[in-house]
């Protein structure tokens, strides 16, 4: 399956892009996506082990199961207002 992975602020600086299409094995969870990004040999290896993540615009724990086509956003600490 393929998930659309979005990066913002400091994580965007690490990724060098706003978004990536990431291929994952069936049954993968948020934690697997993060592990794969951190292991890719890029600056994303500096991502936290358990970054805050939103799946389809809802905050979601690392154990959340992913499905093909999901939109997964990696959310660095927020500073709105």
Partner 1 sequence: MGASYAAVVAQPLDAARIIADTLSPEDGAALLFWGVVRNENDGRAVTQLEYHAYEAMAERELLRIADEARERWGTGDIRVVHRVGLLEVGEASIAIAVAAPHRGEAYEASRYVIEQVKRRVPVWKREGYVEGAHEWVPGFTPAAG
Closest approach of Cβ 40 to partner 1, in Å?
Answer: 22
Closer residue to partner 1 in complex, CB, 64/66: 64
CB of 31 to partner 1, least distance (A): 11
Residue 10 binds to partner 1 (criterion: CB under 8 A): yes
Does residue 81 interact with partner 1 by CB under 8 A?
A: yes
Handedness of CA 59, 19, 79, 46 (dihedral sign): positive
Binding residue (CB under 8 A) for partner 1 from 1, 20, 31, 62:
62
Quote the DSSP letter at residue 77.
P
* Token digits of residue 54: 């939103």
Nearest alpha-carbon partner for 43 in 20, 8, 15: 15
First to last CA, the chain: 36
Applying CB under 8 A, which residues contact partner 1?
Answer: 6, 8-10, 13, 50, 52-54, 57-62, 64, 73, 75-81
């Amino acid at each position: 399956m393929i998930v659309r992975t979005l990066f913002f602020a400091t994580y965007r600086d690490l990724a060098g892009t706003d978004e990536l299409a990431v291929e994952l094995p069936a049954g993968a969870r948020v934690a697997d996506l993060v592990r794969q990004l951190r292991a890719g040999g890029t600056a994303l290896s500096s991502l936290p082990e358990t970054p805050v993540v939103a799946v389809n615009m809802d905050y979601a724990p690392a154990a959340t199961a992913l499905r093909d086509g999901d939109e997964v956003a990696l959310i660095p600490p927020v500073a709105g207002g």
